[in-house]
Amino acid sequence: MLVERLTLSGQFLALSRFEPQLFNQPIEFVLANGVTVNISSPGIIQFTPASTSLKDIVISCGVHGNETAPIEICDDLVSQILRLELTPQHRLLVIFANLPSMAIEKRFVEENLNRLFSGAHSSTDGEHNFERQRAQELEQVVADFFTQGSETSERLHYDLHTAIRASKNDKFAVYPFLHGKQHSLEQLAFLYACGVNTFLLSESPTTTFSYYSSRQFGAHAFTVELGKVQRFGENDMSKFVAVRETLTALIANKELKLPEFSPEKCFIYRVNQVINKHQADFKLHFDSDTPNFTDFEKGHLLASETGAQYRCEFDNEAIVFPNENVAIGQRALLTVVATKI
Ligand SMILES: [Zn+2]
Protein backbone atom coordinates (compact mmCIF):
# COMPACT_ATOMS: atom_id res chain seq x y z
CA MET A 1 0.00 0.00 0.00
CA LEU A 2 2.61 2.54 1.10
CA VAL A 3 4.89 1.60 -1.79
CA GLU A 4 2.00 2.11 -4.20
CA ARG A 5 1.17 5.48 -2.69
CA LEU A 6 4.79 6.53 -3.05
CA THR A 7 5.30 5.32 -6.60
CA LEU A 8 1.95 6.56 -7.92
CA SER A 9 2.02 10.01 -6.37
CA GLY A 10 5.73 10.49 -5.86
CA GLN A 11 4.81 12.44 -2.73
CA PHE A 12 7.55 11.37 -0.39
CA LEU A 13 7.92 14.83 1.13
CA ALA A 14 4.20 15.33 1.74
CA LEU A 15 3.91 11.90 3.37
CA SER A 16 7.01 12.60 5.47
CA ARG A 17 5.57 15.90 6.64
CA PHE A 18 1.96 14.97 7.22
CA GLU A 19 2.06 11.23 7.96
CA PRO A 20 5.56 10.75 9.39
CA GLN A 21 4.45 7.65 11.33
CA LEU A 22 4.42 5.82 7.97
CA PHE A 23 8.20 5.87 8.08
CA ASN A 24 8.76 4.81 11.69
CA GLN A 25 10.20 1.56 10.34
CA PRO A 26 12.84 1.57 7.59
CA ILE A 27 11.41 0.62 4.18
CA GLU A 28 13.13 -0.89 1.16
CA PHE A 29 11.63 -1.59 -2.26
CA VAL A 30 12.74 -1.83 -5.87
CA LEU A 31 11.30 0.32 -8.66
CA ALA A 32 10.39 -1.17 -12.05
CA ASN A 33 13.63 0.26 -13.50
CA GLY A 34 15.72 -1.69 -10.98
CA VAL A 35 16.51 1.27 -8.70
CA THR A 36 16.42 0.30 -5.02
CA VAL A 37 14.72 2.77 -2.69
CA ASN A 38 15.58 2.94 1.01
CA ILE A 39 13.70 5.16 3.41
CA SER A 40 15.31 5.23 6.83
CA SER A 41 13.11 7.85 8.47
CA PRO A 42 10.80 10.71 7.48
CA GLY A 43 12.51 13.05 5.02
CA ILE A 44 15.44 10.72 4.25
CA ILE A 45 15.40 8.70 1.03
CA GLN A 46 18.15 6.84 -0.78
CA PHE A 47 18.28 5.54 -4.34
CA THR A 48 20.68 2.86 -5.55
CA PRO A 49 20.84 2.07 -9.27
CA ALA A 50 21.10 -1.52 -10.43
CA SER A 51 24.29 -0.80 -12.41
CA THR A 52 27.63 0.27 -10.95
CA SER A 53 27.63 3.81 -9.66
CA LEU A 54 30.58 6.17 -10.14
CA LYS A 55 29.39 8.85 -7.76
CA ASP A 56 27.81 8.99 -4.32
CA ILE A 57 25.63 12.09 -4.30
CA VAL A 58 24.00 13.71 -1.27
CA ILE A 59 21.53 16.50 -1.90
CA SER A 60 20.10 18.09 1.22
CA CYS A 61 17.55 20.86 1.66
CA GLY A 62 15.37 22.28 4.40
CA VAL A 63 18.16 22.42 6.97
CA HIS A 64 16.36 25.73 7.49
CA GLY A 65 12.66 24.92 7.21
CA ASN A 66 11.51 28.20 5.68
CA GLU A 67 13.97 28.00 2.76
CA THR A 68 11.37 26.63 0.42
CA ALA A 69 12.80 26.83 -3.10
CA PRO A 70 15.40 24.07 -2.60
CA ILE A 71 12.78 21.96 -0.80
CA GLU A 72 10.49 22.27 -3.82
CA ILE A 73 13.35 21.42 -6.20
CA CYS A 74 14.28 18.28 -4.21
CA ASP A 75 10.65 17.27 -3.77
CA ASP A 76 10.28 17.40 -7.52
CA LEU A 77 13.45 15.36 -8.17
CA VAL A 78 12.40 12.64 -5.71
CA SER A 79 8.91 12.58 -7.10
CA GLN A 80 10.20 12.18 -10.66
CA ILE A 81 12.41 9.28 -9.58
CA LEU A 82 9.60 7.51 -7.72
CA ARG A 83 7.30 7.92 -10.74
CA LEU A 84 10.01 6.52 -13.08
CA GLU A 85 10.33 9.80 -14.97
CA LEU A 86 13.97 10.13 -13.95
CA THR A 87 16.41 7.24 -13.47
CA PRO A 88 19.36 7.89 -11.20
CA GLN A 89 22.63 6.48 -12.55
CA HIS A 90 24.50 7.06 -9.29
CA ARG A 91 23.83 6.36 -5.64
CA LEU A 92 21.77 9.28 -4.40
CA LEU A 93 20.71 10.33 -0.91
CA VAL A 94 18.12 13.10 -0.67
CA ILE A 95 17.54 14.70 2.73
CA PHE A 96 14.69 16.99 3.76
CA ALA A 97 16.37 17.98 6.97
CA ASN A 98 14.08 19.93 9.26
CA LEU A 99 10.46 18.83 8.76
CA PRO A 100 9.02 20.38 11.97
CA SER A 101 10.42 23.80 11.06
CA MET A 102 8.79 23.52 7.61
CA ALA A 103 5.45 23.06 9.40
CA ILE A 104 5.84 26.32 11.32
CA GLU A 105 7.47 28.14 8.36
CA LYS A 106 10.46 29.06 10.49
CA ARG A 107 14.19 28.74 10.04
CA PHE A 108 14.28 26.27 12.94
CA VAL A 109 12.23 25.15 15.94
CA GLU A 110 14.66 25.42 18.86
CA GLU A 111 18.11 25.90 17.42
CA ASN A 112 19.91 26.52 14.12
CA LEU A 113 20.47 23.02 12.73
CA ASN A 114 23.36 24.20 10.59
CA ARG A 115 25.44 24.96 13.70
CA LEU A 116 25.09 21.47 15.17
CA PHE A 117 27.24 19.20 13.00
CA SER A 118 30.66 17.68 13.63
CA GLY A 119 29.53 16.72 17.10
CA ALA A 120 28.23 20.17 18.18
CA HIS A 121 24.84 18.48 18.76
CA SER A 122 26.34 16.81 21.81
CA SER A 123 27.93 19.84 23.43
CA THR A 124 26.74 20.27 26.98
CA ASP A 125 25.68 23.91 26.69
CA GLY A 126 22.18 23.23 25.40
CA GLU A 127 19.05 21.15 25.73
CA HIS A 128 18.72 17.88 23.90
CA ASN A 129 16.15 19.30 21.49
CA PHE A 130 14.78 18.08 18.15
CA GLU A 131 17.47 19.80 16.07
CA ARG A 132 20.25 18.18 18.09
CA GLN A 133 18.73 14.72 17.62
CA ARG A 134 18.27 15.35 13.93
CA ALA A 135 21.85 16.59 13.45
CA GLN A 136 23.09 13.39 15.05
CA GLU A 137 20.78 11.29 12.88
CA LEU A 138 21.83 13.11 9.70
CA GLU A 139 25.51 12.64 10.52
CA GLN A 140 24.92 8.91 10.88
CA VAL A 141 22.88 8.67 7.67
CA VAL A 142 25.55 10.51 5.67
CA ALA A 143 28.32 8.43 7.26
CA ASP A 144 26.52 5.19 6.36
CA PHE A 145 25.82 6.40 2.84
CA PHE A 146 29.41 7.33 2.06
CA THR A 147 31.05 4.39 3.79
CA GLN A 148 28.73 1.86 2.12
CA GLY A 149 29.63 3.22 -1.33
CA SER A 150 32.56 2.09 -3.43
CA GLU A 151 35.93 3.44 -2.29
CA THR A 152 36.58 4.81 -5.75
CA SER A 153 33.30 6.71 -6.00
CA GLU A 154 33.40 10.46 -6.19
CA ARG A 155 31.65 11.79 -3.07
CA LEU A 156 29.46 14.86 -3.47
CA HIS A 157 27.25 16.81 -1.09
CA TYR A 158 25.23 19.86 -2.10
CA ASP A 159 23.40 21.40 0.85
CA LEU A 160 20.83 23.73 -0.69
CA HIS A 161 19.62 26.90 1.03
CA THR A 162 18.14 30.29 0.33
CA ALA A 163 19.31 33.42 2.14
CA ILE A 164 17.20 35.50 4.53
CA ARG A 165 17.93 38.69 2.62
CA ALA A 166 18.43 39.71 -0.96
CA SER A 167 21.93 39.39 -2.32
CA LYS A 168 23.84 41.43 -4.85
CA ASN A 169 25.02 38.05 -6.06
CA ASP A 170 21.79 36.11 -6.19
CA LYS A 171 23.23 32.60 -6.05
CA PHE A 172 26.40 31.83 -4.15
CA ALA A 173 28.17 28.90 -2.59
CA VAL A 174 30.23 28.52 0.56
CA TYR A 175 33.24 26.29 0.03
CA PRO A 176 34.10 24.71 3.39
CA PHE A 177 37.63 25.01 4.78
CA LEU A 178 39.74 22.31 3.12
CA HIS A 179 42.65 22.23 5.58
CA GLY A 180 45.14 22.80 2.78
CA LYS A 181 43.57 20.60 0.10
CA GLN A 182 43.12 22.04 -3.40
CA HIS A 183 39.82 23.63 -4.39
CA SER A 184 38.16 21.71 -7.20
CA LEU A 185 37.76 23.77 -10.38
CA GLU A 186 35.52 21.03 -11.76
CA GLN A 187 33.15 21.54 -8.85
CA LEU A 188 33.18 25.30 -9.37
CA ALA A 189 32.30 24.67 -13.02
CA PHE A 190 29.41 22.45 -11.89
CA LEU A 191 28.10 25.12 -9.53
CA TYR A 192 28.52 27.76 -12.22
CA ALA A 193 26.31 25.63 -14.47
CA CYS A 194 23.76 25.70 -11.62
CA GLY A 195 23.72 29.50 -11.88
CA VAL A 196 26.14 30.13 -9.01
CA ASN A 197 28.71 32.80 -9.90
CA THR A 198 29.98 33.72 -6.44
CA PHE A 199 32.13 31.58 -4.20
CA LEU A 200 33.10 32.12 -0.61
CA LEU A 201 36.16 30.24 0.50
CA SER A 202 35.87 29.48 4.18
CA GLU A 203 39.14 29.54 6.11
CA SER A 204 38.21 27.85 9.36
CA PRO A 205 36.37 24.75 10.60
CA THR A 206 32.64 25.21 11.20
CA THR A 207 29.72 23.18 12.46
CA THR A 208 27.80 23.24 9.15
CA PHE A 209 26.46 20.18 7.35
CA SER A 210 28.67 20.72 4.29
CA TYR A 211 31.85 21.06 6.35
CA TYR A 212 31.00 17.77 8.07
CA SER A 213 30.82 15.87 4.77
CA SER A 214 33.90 17.61 3.42
CA ARG A 215 36.03 17.03 6.50
CA GLN A 216 34.86 13.57 7.57
CA PHE A 217 34.44 11.92 4.18
CA GLY A 218 36.52 14.00 1.79
CA ALA A 219 33.36 14.82 -0.15
CA HIS A 220 33.19 17.78 -2.49
CA ALA A 221 30.67 19.57 -0.31
CA PHE A 222 29.08 23.01 -0.50
CA THR A 223 26.48 25.16 1.17
CA VAL A 224 24.66 26.54 -1.84
CA GLU A 225 22.51 29.65 -1.52
CA LEU A 226 19.95 29.89 -4.30
CA GLY A 227 18.31 33.29 -3.78
CA LYS A 228 15.94 34.75 -1.24
CA VAL A 229 13.54 33.06 1.18
CA GLN A 230 9.91 32.92 -0.04
CA ARG A 231 6.90 30.97 1.27
CA PHE A 232 5.98 27.56 -0.18
CA GLY A 233 4.37 28.00 -3.59
CA GLU A 234 5.56 31.62 -3.90
CA ASN A 235 8.91 30.94 -5.50
CA ASP A 236 9.47 32.09 -9.05
CA MET A 237 10.64 28.69 -10.26
CA SER A 238 11.95 30.19 -13.51
CA LYS A 239 14.88 31.47 -11.43
CA PHE A 240 15.84 27.88 -10.67
CA VAL A 241 15.82 26.33 -14.12
CA ALA A 242 19.61 26.09 -14.34
CA VAL A 243 20.02 24.41 -10.96
CA ARG A 244 17.19 21.95 -11.63
CA GLU A 245 18.52 21.01 -15.04
CA THR A 246 22.09 20.67 -13.83
CA LEU A 247 21.16 18.55 -10.81
CA THR A 248 18.97 16.39 -13.04
CA ALA A 249 21.85 15.92 -15.47
CA LEU A 250 24.17 15.01 -12.60
CA ILE A 251 21.74 12.39 -11.33
CA ALA A 252 20.66 10.95 -14.67
CA ASN A 253 23.90 10.85 -16.63
CA LYS A 254 26.79 8.49 -16.17
CA GLU A 255 29.10 11.33 -17.14
CA LEU A 256 28.54 15.02 -16.99
CA LYS A 257 30.15 17.21 -19.62
CA LEU A 258 30.60 20.78 -18.46
CA PRO A 259 32.50 23.72 -19.89
CA GLU A 260 35.79 24.47 -18.15
CA PHE A 261 35.66 26.86 -15.19
CA SER A 262 36.46 30.46 -16.07
CA PRO A 263 37.31 32.44 -12.95
CA GLU A 264 36.96 35.78 -14.77
CA LYS A 265 33.19 35.23 -14.99
CA CYS A 266 32.93 34.73 -11.22
CA PHE A 267 33.36 36.52 -7.92
CA ILE A 268 35.61 34.70 -5.51
CA TYR A 269 35.92 35.82 -1.92
CA ARG A 270 37.65 34.58 1.15
CA VAL A 271 36.12 34.99 4.58
CA ASN A 272 37.97 37.73 6.43
CA GLN A 273 36.09 38.16 9.71
CA VAL A 274 33.70 35.86 11.54
CA ILE A 275 31.89 38.15 13.96
CA ASN A 276 30.06 36.44 16.81
CA LYS A 277 27.51 38.07 19.07
CA HIS A 278 28.76 38.21 22.67
CA GLN A 279 26.38 40.71 24.26
CA ALA A 280 22.63 41.21 24.20
CA ASP A 281 23.11 44.74 22.82
CA PHE A 282 24.90 43.56 19.67
CA LYS A 283 23.89 45.91 16.86
CA LEU A 284 24.57 46.09 13.13
CA HIS A 285 25.37 49.55 11.77
CA PHE A 286 23.77 49.22 8.36
CA ASP A 287 20.16 49.00 7.19
CA SER A 288 18.36 45.76 7.88
CA ASP A 289 17.64 45.30 4.16
CA THR A 290 21.24 45.78 3.01
CA PRO A 291 21.90 43.03 0.44
CA ASN A 292 24.53 40.35 1.00
CA PHE A 293 27.89 41.26 -0.63
CA THR A 294 27.41 45.01 -0.12
CA ASP A 295 30.91 46.36 0.45
CA PHE A 296 32.31 49.14 2.62
CA GLU A 297 35.59 51.04 2.95
CA LYS A 298 38.38 50.22 5.38
CA GLY A 299 37.57 51.48 8.88
CA HIS A 300 33.79 51.52 8.34
CA LEU A 301 31.91 50.56 11.51
CA LEU A 302 29.90 47.41 10.77
CA ALA A 303 28.68 46.35 14.18
CA SER A 304 29.14 47.04 17.85
CA GLU A 305 28.28 45.70 21.28
CA THR A 306 29.34 46.53 24.81
CA GLY A 307 33.11 46.30 24.86
CA ALA A 308 33.68 45.85 21.12
CA GLN A 309 33.46 47.56 17.75
CA TYR A 310 33.77 45.68 14.48
CA ARG A 311 35.17 47.57 11.49
CA CYS A 312 36.23 46.77 7.95
CA GLU A 313 39.90 45.83 7.84
CA PHE A 314 40.16 46.27 4.06
CA ASP A 315 38.70 48.49 1.37
CA ASN A 316 35.77 46.77 -0.37
CA GLU A 317 35.26 44.36 2.49
CA ALA A 318 31.73 43.01 2.03
CA ILE A 319 29.08 41.69 4.41
CA VAL A 320 27.40 38.28 4.23
CA PHE A 321 24.75 36.58 6.42
CA PRO A 322 24.22 39.50 8.83
CA ASN A 323 21.73 38.64 11.58
CA GLU A 324 21.80 40.53 14.87
CA ASN A 325 18.99 38.36 16.26
CA VAL A 326 21.07 35.22 16.67
CA ALA A 327 21.58 33.68 20.09
CA ILE A 328 24.52 34.95 22.13
CA GLY A 329 27.68 33.09 21.15
CA GLN A 330 26.47 32.55 17.56
CA ARG A 331 27.74 34.12 14.37
CA ALA A 332 26.07 37.44 13.62
CA LEU A 333 28.04 38.48 10.54
CA LEU A 334 30.69 37.34 8.10
CA THR A 335 32.89 39.69 6.15
CA VAL A 336 34.58 38.74 2.91
CA VAL A 337 37.23 40.18 0.62
CA ALA A 338 37.97 39.35 -3.00
CA THR A 339 40.58 36.68 -3.65
CA LYS A 340 41.87 34.46 -6.43
CA ILE A 341 41.75 30.72 -6.68
ZN1 LIG B 1 19.78 28.27 5.22
CA of 113 to the centre of ligand 1 (A): 9
- Provide the pLDDT for residue 252: 95
Does pLDDT of 165 surpass 80? no
- The CA 16 to ligand 1 mean position distance, Å, reads 20
Q: One-letter amino acid identity for 11?
A: Q
The rounded Å distance from CA 221 to ligand 1 centre is 15
Is 225 marked active-site? yes
- Residue 82 Cα to ligand 1 midpoint, Å, equals 26
Evaluate whether 95 touches 70 at the Cβ level (below 8 Å).
Answer: no
Nearest to 117 by CA among 204, 225, 213: 213
pTM: 0.94
The SS3 of residue 224 is strand
Question: What contacts 19, CB < 8 A, 6 or more positions away?
Answer: none
Taking the C-alpha atoms of residue 256 and residue 318, their distance in angstroms, rounded to an integer, is 34
Q: Which residues contact 323 (CB under 8 A, 6 or more apart)?
A: 164, 332, 333
The CA R_g of the chain, rounded to the nearest whole Å, is: 20
128 has pLDDT over 90 = no
CA 6 to chain centre: 25
Which class for 264: exposed (0-12), middle (13-18), buried (19 or more C-beta within 10 A)? exposed
Query: How much distance in Å is there from the Cα of 261 to the middle of ligand 1?
Result: 26
CA angle 122, 163, 116 (to 5 degrees): 5
Give the C-alpha distances (Å, rounded to integers) separating 309 from 71, 298, 302, 304.
Answer: 38, 14, 8, 4
Considering 225, 245, 260, 324, which one is annotated as catalytic?
Answer: 225
The torsion angle over the Cα atoms of residues 145, 146, 151 and 157, rounded to 10 degrees, is: 130
In the prediction, which pLDDT does 166 show? 75
Residue-wise pLDDT for 197-243, tens only, equals 999 999 999 999 999 999 999 999 999 999 888 888 888 888 899 99
Q: Are 334 and 275 in contact (CB under 8 A)?
A: yes
pLDDT tens, position by position, 46-64: 999 999 889 999 999 999 9
CB 169 within 8 A of CB 293: yes
> How many angstroms does the Cα of residue 180 sit away from the middle of ligand 1?
26
Distances (CA, A) of 12 to 5, 46, 193, 194, 316: 9, 12, 27, 24, 45
